[in-house]
Amino acid sequence: MSERRRESAGSRLLAFLRVVPAPLHGSSAANPSRTTPTWARFLPSCILSRIAGRSYLQSVIGNIGWQFADHVVRMGIGFLVGIWLARYLGPERYGLFSYVLAFTVLFFPLATLGLDNIVVRNLVRDPTSRQLTLGTSFILKLVGGVFSFLAATVAIFILRPADRQSQWLVAIVAAGALFQAFNTIEVWFNSQVQAKYPVLARNAAFLVCALVKIALILAGASLFAFAWVGLLEVVAGAAGLVLVYRLQGQRLRQWASSLKMAGELLKDSWPLLFSGFVVVGYMRIDQVMLGEMVGSKAVGVYTVAVRLAEVWFFFATAVYWSVLPSLVEAKAASEALFYQRLQKYYNLTALAGYAIAIPVTLLADRLVLALFGAPYAEAGPMLAILIWATMFVYLETARSAFFNVMNLYRLYFATLALGAAVNVCLNLVLIPRYGGLGAAIASCVSYWFAAHGACFLFRPLRRTGVMLARAMVFPKIW
């Protein structure tokens, strides 16, 4: 690349990075060279000169890097192990296992209660109430985890009263909800733009369990063994979060709780709780409905397409948690500044969506055959459709930052509920006729409607709907 082209690319990157400048209440360091992290010194001089001394901007870039590293590890190692597992189990057993996972996830919002975004927002706004906020959130999530476990196990007994295998698999997987309360620690690190520590904790557990899964495949283990390993990963991840929290000089025993704080958190989070049900509903109900209406083999083939499409979702999450604190501060400073940064955020996510969807669409059939083999060949056309849902997932994730900052959680729930309703209705019509291909079409259409189309049904959302349309038509980030 010529020097001029390098300078141009660097300028465009920096234009987007202005979405997350130094905090509005802070200033740069007096000695830039002393505050520049080691990784930044490998950047081109045109970029390094612009971020030197801006400690918060450096933290955000580093935070995104850690989030990317987390998902790249999971996307790489986890994806390869997942391919191996799918080949080992075959479409029938892999379909049953996927059905169990999708069914259990439908009840996981009870374990989080929609609190994560609220807690991050409150920690940024009022750091002095940190211990009370964290402690109350932990207790609420612990209670929610118990209800999540009970709801999933009771529901599978009602839906499949004679299927003991499915009942036990759901019970094992659902037990992971009991440990979701410890994710409160991760929320704290996210509020401090310090993704490094939870990433290390989670990945240590993930890598160990990935090795265990490989050993189980080589040993010819049953489905139950893989379910137990999944539970082990959740427990080990929770233990890792506690460890890194202590290593940072923090103590869980310093947390406090109160009924008043619990009421305030639930008052703000209940729309997000129901939105969580809607999100997992329209992201996983297709697999559950496909399993009930067609069979486990169809779920296995369809899940391969879903895995290949969802493996790219990490980008949206990594950027979201790094940009959110900056958007909260921008809104407090200026309405114009907030919408300027929000548009750049939308543009970046749309551009990333195109960069992924176009090549995957062209290579869908070859990817499926090369990675999963001939038994899953029917997943190719499904992937070519589902990959475009990535664009709308990216935009919906970015749009959720707008809802969070503007405190429009009820409208957030309404848009997702409408998307879920569209998904269920289309699945009922398309699955009997087209099987997994119909489920893919239903998912793609409902993702677009929830992220963009529904915005024009509500007056407060029309401006952001136009901004999303602008991002899809001309996603410039410079």
- 71 to 68, 203, 252, 313, 316: CA distances (angstroms): 5, 9, 27, 9, 11
Q: Exposed, middle or buried, 253 (CB in 10 Å: 0-12/13-18/19+)? A: exposed
Quote the pLDDT of residue 64. Answer: 61
Torsional class of 371: left (φ above 0), alpha (ψ -120 to 50), beta (otherwise):
alpha
CB neighbours of 436 closer than 8 A, spacing ≥ 6? 290, 294, 298, 301, 302, 305, 378, 379, 382
Quote the pLDDT of residue 63. Answer: 58
Query: What is the pLDDT tens value at each position of the chain, 478 positions in all?
Result: 444 333 333 333 333 333 333 333 433 333 444 455 555 555 555 555 555 555 555 555 555 665 666 666 777 787 788 888 888 988 888 888 888 988 898 898 888 888 887 887 777 777 777 788 888 888 999 999 999 999 999 999 998 888 888 899 999 999 999 888 888 888 777 766 666 777 777 878 888 888 999 999 999 888 899 999 999 988 998 888 888 888 877 778 888 888 888 888 888 787 778 777 877 877 788 888 888 888 888 888 898 888 888 877 767 776 776 777 778 777 877 888 888 888 888 888 888 889 899 999 999 999 899 888 888 988 899 999 999 988 898 888 888 888 888 878 788 888 888 988 999 999 999 999 988 899 999 999 999 998 899 999 999 899 999 999 998 887 775 4
Token pair in block for residue 463: 């401006």
Quote the pLDDT of residue 23. Answer: 39
Separation CA 382–CA 305 (nearest Å): 6
Question: Contact, 451 vs 390, CB < 8 A?
Answer: no
Separation CA 307–CA 383 (nearest Å): 9
Quote the pLDDT of residue 55. Answer: 56
Q: How far apart are the first and last CA of the chain?
A: 19
Indicate the pTM of the whole model. Answer: 0.67
User: Which string of DSSP letters, residue by residue, matches 363-398?
Assistant: HHHHHHHHHH-GGGTTHHHHHHHHTTHHHHHHHHHH
Separation CA 130–CA 212 (nearest Å): 37
Quote the pLDDT of residue 49. Answer: 56
Question: Contact, 394 vs 352, CB < 8 A?
Answer: yes
Question: Contact, 126 vs 99, CB < 8 A?
Answer: no
Quote the pLDDT of residue 327. Answer: 83
Q: Exposed, middle or buried, 46 (CB in 10 Å: 0-12/13-18/19+)? A: middle
Quote the pLDDT of residue 26. Answer: 39
Quote the pLDDT of residue 25. Answer: 40
Separation CA 181–CA 142 (nearest Å): 5
Token pair in block for residue 94: 């892999």
Quote the pLDDT of residue 325. Answer: 72
